[in-house]
Amino acid sequence: AAQKRLSCPPCPTAAPPLPGCPKDEIGVGTQCFYFVEDAADWDGGQRFCLSHGAQLATVGSPQELGFVLRYGSSVHYWIGLRREG
């Protein structure tokens, strides 16, 4: 889950959607990404993802990292990392 986004930064040429990505999700590498604009903490974000049969994003390649940094440059998004303690 993410905090409210006021505007979307211009994006370079969009990658074609991956076959099998649900509507409104963006395919990058081998993953489908969905950005939620509702504010939530990590646990809330994870619960939202699980309720939709998904999980918080993991970054598995430099291409995926570049994508997340481009789309998340003006707001903060939760990904599947967590510091405990």
- Residue 22 contacts by C-beta under 8 Å, 6 or more apart in sequence? 32, 34
pLDDT greater than 80 at residue 48:
yes
- pLDDT tens digits, one per residue of 10-36: 555 555 555 678 888 888 877 888 888
Domain edges within the chain: 1-85
CA distance 14 to 25: 12
Q: Say which CATH superfamily domain 1-85 falls into.
A: Mannose-Binding Protein A, subunit A (3.10.100.10)
Q: What's residue 50's pLDDT?
A: 93
Asked if 64 and 30 touch (Cβ cutoff 8 Å), the reply is no
Could you tell me which residue, 82 or 67, shows the higher pLDDT? 67
Q: What's residue 38's pLDDT?
A: 81
Q: What's residue 33's pLDDT?
A: 84
Average pLDDT in the chain:
74
DSSP string, 23-75: TT-EEETTEEE----S---HHHHHHHHHHTT-------SHHHHHHHHHHTSSS
| pTM over cut 0.75 | no
Q: What's residue 51's pLDDT?
A: 93
Beta strands 31-33 and 26-28, pairing class: antiparallel
